[in-house]
Chains A and B, each alone.
Chain A
Amino acid sequence: MSRTKGDEEDYWHSSKFKAFAFDDDDDDELSQLKESKRAVNSLRAIVDEDDDGETVNWSGEPVGSISWSIKETASNARASAETRNFAPHKSRTEASSSVFPKPGSSHSLSSLFRGWSQTESRQSLSDALLDTNSKIFAPELRRPRSENQDYSGDWSVEETIRRMQRGKICPLERFRTLKEKLHLLDEAVKLHDGNVITAVLIFLKKTLNSDVLFKELELRQVALRHFIHFLREMSEQQLLMDLLRYLERTEELALCKYREHLNIAGADERRDFLKSKCLSLPFSPEDSAHVQDHYTLLERQIIVEANDKHLEATGQEQMFRKHPRKASLLFMPLVTTLFYACIYHYTEGEGTFSSPTNLRKTFKIPEKLYILTALAARAKLRAWHDVDALFTTKNWLGYTKKRAPVGFHRVVEILHKNNAPVEILQEYVRLVEDTESRISLGTKYKCHDVVIDTYRDLKDRQQLMVYRCKVERSSPEEIKIDNILSNMQIRWKN
């Protein structure tokens, strides 16, 4: 990170936000929480005597809930294919359902439903509910079927659309002129109901030549969007491509074709699809490069995977025996592939497909990303020598120098996450340039030497004395501090 310490301080001091600390160091709140937990847990003995909470099965579903029951069906079905009867169980209602009246009362209600009169359906339902709540209900319940099938009328375009919006079946076949058809579509769009818009579009698709339809849709963006979505949902890929081609939406067309690769499960087939169908698609220049990279990456992965699978199976390679592969490399992102290469093929020369250097070159991986990934991989294998080499540069005079494009504080953090020993950590903490963050990192990871040396260099006697209390009694660190403190050569600033 390029942020300087000064900025950071500035920000925090001027900030009005309460520092919302989730930090380990500041564990006041966490300990408070732990304490509460202990208190609550100590009560458990009394409470567990006869816990009458809701009954839950092993997966935590309340017994009697529908999700629970479906799982039961599934496991029963597995156990015995033929005798799939419901296992008798104690039914328990979920906590929330206790607010409803018991099933018995619903019986009477539903029988009312069954017997309602065809014309007065709403009224009778509301009447039925009146005594429970003194209001009139007008629920959108299904109307009698007969009402839906009113084929007799010669509805106008407007009426037809309105009736369709009310969920009534209306034959559209009467509308045969293009003018009528478009009028239908425009009315549907005016009404905003997408369900009706799509219904009209289905009719137009059936009765119009696609060239005619496309031309009209181009002038009607709302309808066009519905049509594209409809084709996508119906997986009518060919017609969709034709439409996009007609509209000259080339990038969308390319993406639409490219999307098909997701449905191809086999690696070889997917690679071939990318090569023969996608590389030449009219993507934007930048996307074109991404798709090319996609293809190249998969091609490499297939080669490396076959190779490594073989190596692992024969047991020749020590690396694979010591660290068996957890998953296949196929379809992994580039960074994961690089990480993999840094684990298993770190020392290979640039000539092989599997070498990190080759990947880095082929995909123009930025230095920062490369270093971060290689560091994580080599630290995981505790190859400290490789870690060292990552940050060592030689100048033309042959002097070596340590340099980290990511900042050494990040390096330290990553090493710590991989359980690097203090001796190693110390080396890198020392390289953190900013003294304040060096001290805080040193303190955090117990790199005493670095902290002590830094205070000495800062000639900060007071802090050194404070730090003396933090190290163990008569440890080498304490002796070191004492030696420094008694050194008459140092001109302390305080």
Chain B
Amino acid sequence: MASERIDSPELPDFTILKRLARDQLIYILEQLPGKKDLFIEPDLMSPLDRIANVSILKQHEVDKLYKLEDKPIYSNCDQLCFLIRPRIKHVKFIANLVRSDKASARNRKYKIIFSPQKFYTCDMVLEQEGIFGDVTCDEWSFYLLPLDDDIISMELPEFYRDYFLEGDQRWVGTVAKALHLLNSIFGPVSKTYGIGRCSKMVFDLWRDLLEDDEHDQKDRRSDLGLVFMIDRDVDYVTPMCSQVVYEGLVDDIFRIKCGSVEFGPEVTSCDKSIKVLLNSQDKVFNEIRNEHFSNVFSFLSQKARNLQSQYDKRQGMDIRQMKTFVAQELKGLKQEHRLLSLHIGACESIMKKKTKQDFQELMKTEHSLLEGFEIRESISFIEEHINRQVSPIESLRLLCLLSITEYGLITKDYRSLKTQYLQSYGPEHLLTFSNLKRTGLLTEQAPGETLTAVENKMSKLVTDKAAGKLTDAFSSLAKKSNFRGIGKKLGLIPRVDGEYDLKTPKDMAYIFSGAYIPLSCKLMEQVLQRKGWTGLEEVTRLLNGNEFAEQLCDRNSGSQRTIVAVFLGGCTFSEISALRFLGKEAGYKFIFLTTSITNGARMLESMMETKS
């Protein structure tokens, strides 16, 4: 992979954000002096782990720690503290608890800490439940969690469903405040680009906050240059593709949670699981995270050989040399050894899983869908996937990819695939399909949208690779398709003669084996290159508009090459890898600010209905 360009800027140090969050939490805890038990909601446990630990909490008189679950609690403490996301479910749970304490004449102090903010609905519930005033509330403005040198997550996976399915803008203000915080510490940002309705709203609110600011911070050197904001629904294709870059693949298979992953016994080759932090501190991981999976093996074996030879140096050492070896090198080698064996184990496990599920045919189907040929074959592949009850999420992901690349399914296919899906995975998925239709992830073409012009058919014929595909082009799904149009305009499907070189890739397509350049990343590249949206009018029209470019401050105090890429609704590791690649090629430094790290499975799981 290409090495850094010398003119690329340095990344700001985001660890200060962790300290800020921790100090504020401590401050809040001290507002409730004396011994207290702390109940933490499950979704906040990992983020909290990243910034504090038990001894810090204990220093501030937290006695016992509990997970907030839908179960009765047993605590003897006279002060209870709850650390939660602002969700009605949790507030109601706490209200029940307070009321039952009251009923048994138990006198306690209660404090609810909402992170990152409280919603008005929470107050309303407290009031309705009759405990307003019995409980004190606080807001812990923990908006930004740096997961790595260049990744900052808001850890709000529900953002996606709340906004893109329910149309609830409750987090819009939250993101604006997060941007404002980032800007006030590391900024000011000079210019903002964006695309999507939500991005525009966040920007408007953020600008409001900026105008409110009494402090003039414009005279200091900025660590940030530009901001690029994008709504997740501008590019649904990318998260619906199987990830094949190492970090993305690890996320798809083992689920990276808040920057750490739990490797089970099949990876660790002992009987216990190990939690590992995956970030740039892990020297082995740092070198393979952005690589296409097929390059990872050779890298790891090279590394293993090197390690072997370094250990071999011990042979023939005298006592003194041995002493220095032990003092200076051994620890590093051991650490490297531990990491190396973990990643080798992970690779093995990935290989095993992928072989089992016929990965090659799956990839072939995805690539056909992206290129838009042999659609019928892809449909029968998906059908078989469904009939054989292969993972429900995987089948759904393929269905969505089919729908987005083809601009919806024709009625006949939609009904037949839906019926088969319900038969294989359960009738209650009726609700899932309704949700997917509302988000636009899986849609049925309106009857009027069938082929209108002969030239449509003809262009389809011309691009079709095999000339013998006449029947395919006429009989199946060659419909008006935004993705096809955008793909052509932006060159998302690279035409390469011969094999795509994955070892020394030329473009961002390498993250999908050379088959496709992620739309989201290509858009950023184009806008940065053109310094605006000029010349992309046709593309933005196909993407339903809502693009903007706004100057925020006139003086270019910081490097214009540091770009904050803001993903509203989640960002995948594949996109991160692609932009890191672009950064190296073009001398940018990308900082990723996302509502959460996502992938196809997480997005689709959030579309499923469960009992409330």
Q: Which residues of B contact A74 (CB under 8 A)?
A: 66-67
Do B119 and A36 touch (CB < 8 A)? no
Tell whether, in the assembled complex, residue A363 and residue B423 are in contact, meaning their CB atoms are under 8 Å apart.
yes
Answer whether residue A107 sits at the interface, using C-beta atoms and an 8 A cutoff: yes
B426 interfacial contact with A, CB 8 Å: yes
| Docked CA distance A167–B300 (Å) | 52
Residues of B within 8 A of A56 (CB): 272, 274-275
Q: Mask for B200-230, Cβ within 8 A of A = 1, else 0?
A: 0110110010001101010010000000000
A98 to chain B, nearest CB (A): 10
> Do the beta carbons of B55 and A64 come within 8 Å of each other?
yes
Partner of B50, one of A36, A96, A106: A96
Q: Which residue in B63, B65, B76 is a CB contact (below 8 Å) of A70?
A: B65
Interface 0/1 of A30-71, CB less than 8 Å to B: 101111110111111011000111001011111011111110
Q: Give me 14 A-to-B residue pairs in the complex whose CB atoms sit less than 8 angstroms apart, sorted by A's number.
A: A7-B374, A11-B368, A17-B513, A20-B244, A21-B360, A35-B304, A37-B341, A46-B311, A47-B333, A138-B217, A165-B205, A194-B172, A225-B167, A333-B425
CB pair A66 B48 closer than 8 Å = yes
Q: Which residues of chain A are within 8 angstroms of B384 by Cβ–Cβ distance?
A: 1, 406, 410
B49's contact among A67, A196, A262, by CB below 8 Å, is which?
A: A67
Tell me the smallest distance from the CB of B221 to a CB of chain A, in Å. 9
Main secondary structure of the interface of B (DSSP, over half): helix
**Contacting chain B: which of A150-158, A284-292, A314-322, A429-437?**
A284-292
Binds B, one of A364-372, A450-458, A462-470: A364-372
A140–B180 touching, CB < 8 Å: yes
Interchain nearest-CB distance for A49 vs B (Å)? 9
Q: Tell yes or no: B16 within 8 A of A by CB.
A: yes
Collect the chain A residues with CB atoms within 8 Å of residue B419's CB: 286, 290
User: Which residues of chain B have C-beta atoms less than 8 A from A94's C-beta?
Assistant: 49, 53, 277
Chain A proximity of B61: nearest CB distance (Å): 12
Scan residues 303-341 of chain B and give those whose CB is less than 8 A from a CB of chain A. 303-305, 307-308, 311, 331, 333-335, 337-338, 340-341
- Chain B residues lying within 8 Å of A194, measured Cβ to Cβ, are 168-173
- With contacts A7-B374, A40-B340, A64-B53 taken as known, whether A198 is within 8 angstroms of B119 at the C-beta atoms is yes
Query: A14 interface residue, CB < 8 Å from B?
Result: yes
If A1-B380, A51-B334 touch, does A255 touch B431 (CB 8 Å cutoff)? yes
* Chain A contacts for B177, CB-based, 8 A: 140
Q: Which chain B residues lie closer than 8 Å to A2 at the CB level?
A: 376-377, 380
**Which of B27, B63, B304, B423 meets A86, CB within 8 Å?**
B63
Interchain CA distance A347-B234 in the complex, whole Å: 54
In whole angstroms, how far apart are the Cα atoms of A444 and B68 in the complex? 53
B84 to chain A, nearest CB (A): 14
Given A16-B514, A43-B307, A290-B430 in contact, is the A36-B120 Cβ separation under 8 Å? no
The answer to whether A66 and B53 touch across the interface, beta carbons within 8 angstroms, is: yes
Binary flags per residue of B360-390, CB closer than 8 Å to A gives 1, else 0: 1001100110000010110011001001110
Binds B, one of A109-117, A388-396, A418-426, A476-484: A109-117
A:209-234 near B, CB below 8 Å = 222, 225-226, 228-230, 232-234
| Residue interface bits B13-48, CB-to-A below 8 A is 1, else 0 | 001101110111011101000000000100001101
Q: With contacts defined as CB atoms under 8 Å apart, how many contacts are there between chain A and chain B in the complex?
A: 386
- Tell me which residues across on chain A come within 8 A of B539, comparing CB atoms: none
Of chain B, the residue at the smallest CB distance from A335 is B424
A345 in contact (CB, < 8 A):
no
- Partner of B120 from the list A106, A142, A195, A258 (CB cut-off 8 Å) is A195
Does any Cβ of B come within 8 Å of A81's Cβ?
yes
Task: Supply 17 further A-B pairs (C-beta < 8 A) apart from A138-B213, A226-B168.
Answer: A17-B515, A29-B294, A37-B341, A37-B345, A43-B307, A51-B338, A52-B331, A66-B48, A70-B45, A77-B74, A86-B58, A95-B277, A95-B281, A110-B27, A142-B141, A165-B173, A194-B170
Of A17, A41, A133, the residue contacting B367 (CB under 8 A) is A17
Encode contact with B along A302-339: 1 for CB under 8 Å, 0 otherwise: 00000000000000000000000000000111111000
B132 contacts partner chain A, Cβ-Cβ < 8 Å = no
A136 at the interface (CB under 8 A from B): yes
Interface residues on B, range: 35 or more
> A53 CA to B16 CA in the complex, in Å?
26
Whether A195 pairs with B119 at a CB distance below 8 angstroms is yes
Mark the stretch among B351-359, B402-410, B587-595 that contacts chain A. B351-359
Partner of A335, one of B18, B272, B423, B498: B423
Q: Which of A40, A46, A60 contacts B304 (CB 8 A)?
A: A40
The answer to whether residues A60 and B88 also contact, given A23-B360, A96-B277, A136-B217 and a CB cut-off of 8 A, is no
Residue of A nearest to B221 (CB): A135
Q: How far is the CA of A289 from the CA of B206 in the complex (A)?
A: 49
Min CB gap A374→B, angstroms: 12
- With A35-B301, A56-B274, A262-B428 given, is the CB distance from A20 to B184 under 8 Å? no
Given A139-B24, A258-B431, A286-B415: A73 touches B64 (CB 8 Å cut-off)? yes
Minimum CB distance partner of A292 in chain B: B427
Interface residues of A in 237-261 (CB under 8 A from B): 251, 255, 258-259, 261
Contact A22 B54 (CB under 8 A): no
Stretch at the interface among B473-481, B552-560, B604-612: B604-612
* A93 beta carbon closer than 8 Å to chain B: yes
Interface centre among A16, A137, A138, A164 (most CB of B within 10 A): A16
Q: Is A297 an interface residue (CB 8 A)?
A: yes
Determine the distance from Cα of A109 to Cα of B23 in the docked complex, in whole angstroms. 7
Within the assembled complex, what's the spacing in Å between the Cα atoms of A293 and B429? Answer: 13
Known contacts being A43-B308, A73-B64, A74-B67, is A33 close to B167, with CB within 8 Å? no
> Given the complex of chains A and B, what is the CA–CA distance between A100 and B21 in angstroms?
12
**Contact across chains for B117 and A167 when beta carbons are under 8 A apart:** yes
A residues in contact with B23, CB < 8 Å: 106, 109-110, 113
Q: Mark A254-286, 1 if CB is under 8 A from B, else 0.
A: 010011011100000000000000000000001
Residue contact B119 to A291, C-beta cutoff 8 Å: no
Q: Is the CB–CB distance between A100 and B348 below 8 Å?
A: no
Is residue B93 contacting chain A, with contact meaning CB distance below 8 A? no
**CA of A64 to CA of B49, assembled, Å:** 9
| A14, A60, A64, most chain B CB atoms within 10 A | A60
Q: Is B135 interfacial (CB 8 A cutoff)?
A: no
B253 contacts the other chain (Cβ, under 8 Å)? no
Whether A176 is near chain B, meaning CB under 8 Å from some CB there, is: no
If A141-B141, A259-B609 touch, whether A36 touches B213 (CB-CB below 8 Å) is no
- Smallest CB–CB gap between B358 and chain A, Å? 9
Q: How far is the CB of B311 from chain A (nearest CB, A)?
A: 6
Contact residues in B for A222 (Cβ distance below 8 Å): 167, 169
Q: Mark B263-307, 1 if CB is under 8 A from A, else 0.
A: 000000000111101010100000000000110011011011101
Q: Does B57 contact A (CB under 8 A)?
A: yes
B66–A70 CB distance below 8 A: yes
Query: Is the beta-carbon distance between B49 and A65 smaller than 8 angstroms?
Result: yes
Q: Which 7 A-B pairs have the closest CB atoms?
A: A194-B169, A225-B167, A199-B120, A194-B170, A294-B427, A192-B201, A60-B273
Whether the Cβ atoms of B354 and A22 lie closer than 8 Å is yes
B52 contacts the other chain (Cβ, under 8 Å)? yes
Specify which of B51, B54, B204 is in contact with A192 (CB 8 Å cutoff): B204
Contact B345 A17, beta carbon cutoff 8 Å = no
Given contacts A43-B337, A65-B49, A100-B18, contact A33 B427 (CB under 8 A): no
Point out which of A32, A46, A333, A334 has the most chain B C-beta atoms below 10 A from its C-beta.
A333
Does A100 contact B273, Cβ atoms closer than 8 Å? no
Q: A100-B15, A229-B166, A255-B430 are in contact. Are A193 and B172 (CB under 8 A)?
A: yes
A255 B54 Cβ-Cβ under 8 A? no
With A91-B53, A199-B120, A255-B434 given, is the CB distance from A60 to B274 under 8 Å? yes
- B contact residues around A195 at 8 Å (CB): 117, 119-120, 170, 173
A459 to chain B, nearest CB (A): 29
A43: B residues at CB distance < 8 A:
307-308, 311, 337
